[in-house]
A = this chain, B = another copy of it.
């Protein structure tokens, strides 16, 4: 009879199973460790029954303590409320599961302090590898982890000083694709809106590339602006208002650096009663409501699940003894254009 009458959390141990089955704990351990073929059928049956009866679950703490293989992967997400992050997280989780690993997810809210704490937590649980969507500059904890040899894969954002694989979007090509589409559709005056880079390499890369391309194309004029979103939208609205009211004659378009920006810009344009299409709008990151806003918002979709899977792929290679020393590798994916009414004049 199971100890269901216990009022405090109580769980049976391998010893109790052994006693209940009338065998040694070594045998029970073997049974659990995939060495059943070395046990007599009779013993197997007795152990199975005992495990069932006691509702026994091996204690991972003890397991991890002994062997060192925790079968755990840690993941740090900069912003769990960002749909892009969640989609990638989903891919990472699936891939981990498929490889027999469990994923410990930590949200850092783009806060370096939380990032440090969570990193310490993951380290203390002896995760075998870490996927990190970094917030800001690399912390001492991260460097220590890397120095100790814990495999690390950087997601979306690379980190100076840290020698690790990076998986993410081909940011330069994405910007090229966006500008190319906008030009094709006849827009000639562009505003790039981003959140402040603050060490997020993908943001910086997109911003840089925008400036670079603009300089290369004399037929275009444009500007870029970096504003913290989330805040009161007044500043953004004002900035967009002056862009729309500017003296330039050319058709105008706004390029949003990520999904969060796209949302805020769309809200601001809505408040300004701008007509999408007449004012071009293209956002990086596909969002599930993009078809709903006005004539639909044109986006550059990232292959989120693929990115997630590739991340785990990289990590798994580093887990192998041979993959350990390989030089850092970048894996970049192309964005896919989803054209909608917001870039249709």
Contacts and interface: CB of A to CB of B under 8 A. Distances in A.
A4 B143 CA distance: 10
Contacts of A289: 263, 266, 287, 289, 292-293
Contacts of A105: 104-105
Interface residues of A, number: 63
Given A9-B149, A89-B80, A270-B292, A57 B107 contact: no
Given A57-B120, A62-B65, A123-B11, A4 B147 contact: yes
A91 to B, nearest CB: 11
Interface in A38-95: 55, 57-62, 64-65, 70, 80-81, 83, 86-87, 89-90, 93
Nearest to A140: B55
Contacts of A121: 60, 102
A125 interface: yes
B93 A55 contact: no
Given A2-B144, A2-B147, A7-B149, 10 more contacts: A7-B325, A55-B148, A59-B124, A60-B124, A61-B61, A61-B62, A89-B107, A93-B107, A263-B288, A292-B293
7 contacts: A11-B123, A55-B148, A102-B106, A102-B118, A104-B104, A289-B292, A293-B293
Interface of A: 2-4, 6-11, 55, 57-62, 64-65, 70, 80-81, 83, 86-87, 89-90, 93, 97, 102-107, 114, 118, 120-121, 123-126, 128, 144, 147-151, 263, 266-267, 270, 287-289, 291-294, 321, 324-325
